[in-house]
């Protein structure tokens, strides 16, 4: 689905790498936004597992096993506190799913979503506005430095 992004991913990835911020990407589709569901792609699953946030391979299927994590979503100049749902449905062999609450209120199909992890929780941001993204990246770096100094 990354090929459906409304901006060039390589340019965004370079900006994250130059700031030494690990990142992975998702691109919501119209159907995904309407149904409030996205596939947790292999890159997303690996990203979360490598950072010890979540392991889909150890998660049982069904809504009783859903995991919610605190998330800050940055879009259109706003920082929105929300939650991200990580789960494996009982149908379709329990293919891993991810959903960020309130996502459809702030994004359009094809928006590039960059996922990164702060020391407090995960952060999802819309990368369509690179100026805002650069500002946010500076805040993340500063916030991480402040946490490390405590």
Tokens of 37: 């569901």
Domain ranges across the chain: 2-149
Tokens of 66: 């859903």
Q: Is 63 helix (H, G, I), strand (E, B) or coil?
A: helix
Whether the full predicted model's pTM is greater than 0.85, yes or no, is no
Q: What is the pLDDT of residues 32-72, one digit of tens each?
A: 999 999 999 999 999 889 988 889 999 999 999 999 888 87
Does domain 2-149 bear CATH number 2.40.330? Answer: yes
Tokens of 9: 């991913």
């Amino acid at each position: 689905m990354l090929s459906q992004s409304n901006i060039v991913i390589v340019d965004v990835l370079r900006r994250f790498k130059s700031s030494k911020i690990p990142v992975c990407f998702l691109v919501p589709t119209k159907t995904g936004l309407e149904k409030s569901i996205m596939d947790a792609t292999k890159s997303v699953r690996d990203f979360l597992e490598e950072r010890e946030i979540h392991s889909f391979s150890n998660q049982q299927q069904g809504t009783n096993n859903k995991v919610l994590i605190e998330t800050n979503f940055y879009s259109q100049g706003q920082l929105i506190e929300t939650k991200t749902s990580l789960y494996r449905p009982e149908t379709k062999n329990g293919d891993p799913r991810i959903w960020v609450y309130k996502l459809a209120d702030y994004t359009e199909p094809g928006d590039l979503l960059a996922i990164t992890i702060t020391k407090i929780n995960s952060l999802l941001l819309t990368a369509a506005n690179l100026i805002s993204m650069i500002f946010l990246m500076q805040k993340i770096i500063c916030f991480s430095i402040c946490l490390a100094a405590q």
